[in-house]
Structures are given as C-alpha cells and as structure tokens.
Amino acid sequence: MEHTFAMIKPDAFENADEICKIIEGADFKIAEKESLTLTPAKAKSFYGEHKDRAFFSGLIEFITSGTIVAMVLEKENAVVDWRSLLGPTNSKQAEEEAPDSIRARYGTDVQKNAAHGSDSPSAAEREIKFFFPEFDLTETHRTSQGEE
C-alpha cells in the first residue's frame, strides 16, 4: 500500500469537507488529517526546492495566508493517482483539460490552485515526515480519519 502527502491550501479551506469526500470517494483512505496555519519559516522549508524561483515569495505569502489541511492519503498508486485527481498545476489549464479535477473545481489560477500533492514516492516520504514525524509508512491504516 502506498502513501502520499496531500495539502488543502488556504484558498480551498472553506471547501475542505467537500474535497475530503471526493478523496474518499476516489478510494483513498485519509490516514492522518490536521488543520494548521504554516509559519513563513515552515512554509519556506516545505517548499525549499522552489527557493530560487520567481514565484517563491508569492507562494510563501499565499500558503501562509490562512488555514491549510495536511493529510496522509493511502491507496495503491497513491502518489500518481492523487496527482491525477488534482489535475494540472494551473487551475485555468485544469478547467480546459481536466474539468472534473480538484484544481479545476476549487482553484483559481497557477498559484491559487486549491491543493498540493507529492510528486514522487521519495517526496511523499519526506513531506509526510515533515508534517507527521511519527507516521509509520510501513503500516496499512485501513480506516478513515475519525473511525477506528
């Protein structure tokens, strides 16, 4: 069973419950879920790979502007399947190419794009540990958040 890291960004926080229903409807288990507001330091560390990009300061301002929901998703092929459910990075492009995707439905543009997904299994491991240091990646957590 594979795990990936998902984050609902501040622009879509008001739609978080609806997005979680879509995630579970697509056969993912939400193994961990936590709402929080990122500090600028934590946001810069999380998005460190983009530190030299022109959009970095705008990204940090956006991602720290409100509450986010950090989640661990569990499913066969979780990394690729979650990126596919998200759609293209740019929500405007997503509206054209993948109108049912989460970024098409809940995002606005190339920055305000509703949600994040790890882009590889190694990124997933790093990002899960970043938010949930105690999480056991070797275990299968068959129940959704709130159930036991």
* Site residues (vs ligand RTP, CB under 6 A): 50, 55, 58-59, 89, 110-111, 113, 116-117, 119
The answer on whether 15 is annotated among ligand-binding residues is no
Q: Please tell me whether 103 is known to bind a ligand.
A: yes
116 classed as catalytic: yes
Min separation Cβ 44 and ligand RTP, Å: 13
Segment 24-30 long-range contacts (CB within 8 Å, at least 24 positions apart)? 24/144, 26/81, 26/85, 27/75, 28/73, 28/74, 28/75, 28/78, 28/81, 28/82, 29/73, 29/74, 29/75, 29/141, 29/142, 29/143, 29/144, 30/71, 30/72, 30/73, 30/74, 30/144, 30/145
Asked whether residue 126 is marked as a ligand-binding residue, the answer is: no
* Catalytic pick among 3, 50, 116, 141: 116
Q: Which is nearer to ligand RTP, 74 or 134 (CB)?
A: 74
CB of 18 to ligand RTP, least distance (A): 19
Cβ at position 11, least distance to ligand RTP in Å: 9
- To the question of whether residue 33 is assigned a binding role by annotation, the answer is no
User: Which among 2, 4, 3, 30 is positioned nearest to 16, based on CA atoms?
Assistant: 30
Q: Which residues are catalytic?
A: 116
